[in-house]
Amino acid sequence: MKKSLNLLSLLLLLTPLSLQAQERWSLQRCIEYAWENNLNIKQQELNIEQSENNLAQSKLNYIPSVSASANHSMNWGRSVNMNDLQIIENKLSQNTSASARASINLFEGFLKGNEIKSNSVIRDISVKETDRLKNNISIEIARSYLQILLSKEIVKSATESLNSVDAQVERTKKMVEQGSVAYSSLLEMEAQLASERVQLVNANNQLSTTLLTLKQLLDLENSVVNFDIEEINVDLLAKVFHEEEIDILFESSSNLPQIKISELNLQNSNIQLDIAKGRAMPVLSFSAGYGSSFSDARDKTFFEQFKDNRNPSITLGLSVPIFSNYRIRTGIKNAKIAVQKAEIDVRSSRQLLYKEIQQVNNDARASYEKYMASETNVTAMEESFRYVHERFELGILNATDYTVARTNLFRARSDYYQSKYQYVFQLKILDFYRGVPISL
């Protein structure tokens, strides 16, 4: 009795874990999990943090730099007392000095302001790079998710076909025993049954492969063993295709990260050109200092000497670049070339996006036409098979013709499922270019 209670308690403890392990994941949950755990995204988020630090530092560069120093020296032999310029003969002399200084560049060709602008743009580029990675991962997860649903449809169809053929085998056995059909008909039906089993095994293997592909995309931990996804009525998503003008789609997708990244790179290139030009301008600097010293050669105390020897100073400096082996001039030329390359990159990214939209729109239309054709085909095949099945039931048709008809029906259904899910995926890609987040 005690062992039974212990076993029951163990089962109760394991039941929640089992239910949790068998929990079905929605597409949204898969996408959010990938965003939180994908290593490439994590690395890009660190780039954002690094660019934030650089931006903060560029703002802090407006604060004056402050430095302090202290020195203590000991001399033996002949030396000069710098306080009263007296010669010291063979005597240990000690001197102490301390100073502090603050300096700032009042003007340096607007370099600091342009560095802030540049680091701000670089920060924005890092954010857009993260968005681009998230978009790419979302699309791949949606593709894999729909592939799993397709594999499940094929498994279901293969199972139904196997059960139907299995029933026909049992019926044919009875007819052979009664002498109403030849034994060869039973052999053909058993061969068909074996073929149906192979189809079901292949379908299950394909389902396992697609599930593994999605798990690898998500980088799921090994603890998630019985991973599965939520069932979705894809027929509700396979709506009638309405072709949209390419220019309208292009306009709605102009805010995609890949376009913004190229535009931000162009903006940063122009800022770098301003920085290169700024290096050819004079630099006006200002500094202020305060120092004092002590020497044991004088009779006054340490603090009295530090008070007497205090030495405040203010300095204004002007530095004019006259000749630097053409480095500044070459830097400006290269910065101008970088601007031209960035302008070409913006045009190229826009052209690439326009071509992508053209291709996606064309693929969606082709997928819809294939989906409609395969739907008509499978309807005709089902009607044809119904007629063949009735004739086979009456013994008018032989097993070979029945097998061929069933094989054709299974192939037609498989083509129909594939075209349906491919069409739904193309619709989701079109929605993505319209600015609609990936969802099912």
Could you please report the per-residue DSSP string of 312-333?
Answer: -EEEEEEE----STTHHHHHHH
Measured CA to CA, the distance from residue 10 to residue 20 in angstroms comes to 16
Q: What is the pLDDT along the chain (440 residues), one digit of tens a residue?
A: 334 334 334 443 444 444 444 578 999 999 999 999 999 999 999 999 999 999 999 999 889 999 999 998 877 766 666 556 666 666 677 788 889 999 988 888 889 999 999 999 999 999 999 999 999 999 999 999 999 999 999 999 999 989 988 888 888 888 788 877 778 878 888 888 898 899 999 999 999 999 999 998 988 876 566 788 998 888 888 888 888 889 999 998 889 999 999 999 999 999 999 999 998 899 998 999 999 888 776 777 788 878 888 889 898 988 888 888 889 899 999 999 999 999 999 999 999 999 999 999 999 999 999 999 999 999 999 999 899 888 887 777 787 888 888 889 989 999 999 999 999 999 999 989 988 888 88
Measured CA to CA, the distance from residue 193 to residue 44 in angstroms comes to 53
Q: Is 67 helix (H, G, I), strand (E, B) or coil?
A: strand
Measured CA to CA, the distance from residue 164 to residue 401 in angstroms comes to 16
- Considering the entire predicted model, what is its pTM? 0.81
The domains of the chain, with CATH numbers, are: 21-63+109-281+326-433 (1.20.1600.10), 74-107+282-320 (no CATH)
The residues, ordered by sequence, that sit 6+ positions from 400 with a Cβ below 8 Å of its Cβ are 188
The residues, ordered by sequence, that sit 6+ positions from 384 with a Cβ below 8 Å of its Cβ are 405, 408, 409
Measured CA to CA, the distance from residue 148 to residue 218 in angstroms comes to 14
